[in-house]
A and B are shown apart, each in its own frame.
Chain A
């Protein structure tokens, strides 16, 4: 039978940590505990880590009561079928993009209209001058008032003829 000394196994610091944090199971754990009782060097290393781990466990910070109440209130009222307004608006993100695009286009149109108005205003006296100096268009020249008067006279003569001749 092999003596305990001959069976002595070298455990790493990582093995000690797995034991300390309860991540060593079964035979491995039993074997480690056996060695811990007999191996002074292993015990010293174990104590070194164990002290720090125990002290770390003292640090425990609780959330405020207000935070806990808010979370509980949310858990009580939350209904996945009914989305809160804030969430709904987030889900409608494409719509918001669309609206922004429309507003941007409207802005661009208004600015361009304003710029165009200013340009026309600047050119107005020049156009007026051109209109005074220029000849009337060809179609306007063809329009003859005497021709219209002759046609009206024809109509008047026709009416008079009808009135004078009752047989018609």
Chain B
């Protein structure tokens, strides 16, 4: 059976068929949620932002504002990224942290750490990978999250982050190499290292 395309599901939802949105949500909820989580690093905040993002998606599709046919996921990820940036801007009205023009949500990641994320039920490997990702430099982490979890192409990432495709590819390369190095250097038991990154 042929899988219904995103654009057809969106058209169906625009026409009032809620089950089309349900299918879109089923397809992408984990990718969207994981992406937001790796950006904000806080489970409760991720739940809130996830709801905000999806409600905004509903409003925009139903309101006729959606015009990126066939590009549903990159569009949603862009909304999620912007809402996360808005959140940090509202939460941290500290001029010292916002003095650079290209303020990036990923600069704020470390500050949202250690709240209620312990609620997340993950096995050791998953926790370990998550920890290593959080140790990456912001720009590298941004590209890695968007490529590996949001399934955005390097071209789409380049457009969202306002860099060239080669820059996006270069950041991804460094992110993967750094992850490998972090797994070897970081104070994690040797068994775990080998288990995770061979």
Are B147 and A70 in contact, CB atoms less than 8 angstroms apart? no
Are B126 and A67 in contact, CB atoms less than 8 angstroms apart? no
For A10, what are the chain B residues with a Cβ–Cβ distance below 8 Å? none
Query: What is the bound-complex CA distance between A79 and B126, given in angstroms?
Result: 40
Residues of A in contact with B (beta carbons under 8 Å apart): 13-14, 17-18, 21, 23, 48-49, 51-53, 55-64, 66-68, 70-72, 74-76, 78-80
- Which one of A13, A56, A70, A76 contacts B173 once the chains associate, using CB atoms below 8 Å? A13
Min CB distance B21 to A, Å, is: 5
For B198, what are the chain A residues with a Cβ–Cβ distance below 8 Å? 51
Digitize B161-198: 1 where CB-to-A-CB distance is under 8 Å, 0 elsewhere. 00000100110110010011000000000000000111
Q: A52-B180, A56-B144, A72-B25 are in contact. Are A78 and B59 (CB under 8 A)?
A: yes
Most buried by B among A51, A74, A75, A79: A75
Which one of B2-10, B48-56, B83-91, B103-111 contacts A? B48-56
Are B144 and A62 in contact, CB atoms less than 8 angstroms apart? no
Q: A17-B172, A71-B25 are in contact. Are A61 and B58 (CB under 8 A)?
A: no
- Among B112-165, those with CB < 8 Å from A are 120, 122, 125-126, 129-130, 133, 144, 147-149, 153-154
Residues of B in contact with A (beta carbons under 8 Å apart): 13, 18, 21-22, 25, 29-30, 33-34, 37, 46-47, 50-51, 54-55, 58-59, 62-64, 120, 122, 125-126, 129-130, 133, 144, 147-149, 153-154, 166, 169-170, 172-173, 176, 179-180, 196-198
- Which one of B63, B129, B170 contacts A56 once the chains associate, using CB atoms below 8 Å? B129
Are B173 and A75 in contact, CB atoms less than 8 angstroms apart? no
The 18 listed contacts between A and B (C-beta, < 8 Å) are A14-B169, A14-B170, A21-B153, A21-B154, A23-B153, A51-B198, A52-B197, A58-B126, A59-B149, A62-B29, A62-B30, A63-B33, A63-B50, A71-B25, A72-B25, A75-B18, A76-B18, A78-B58
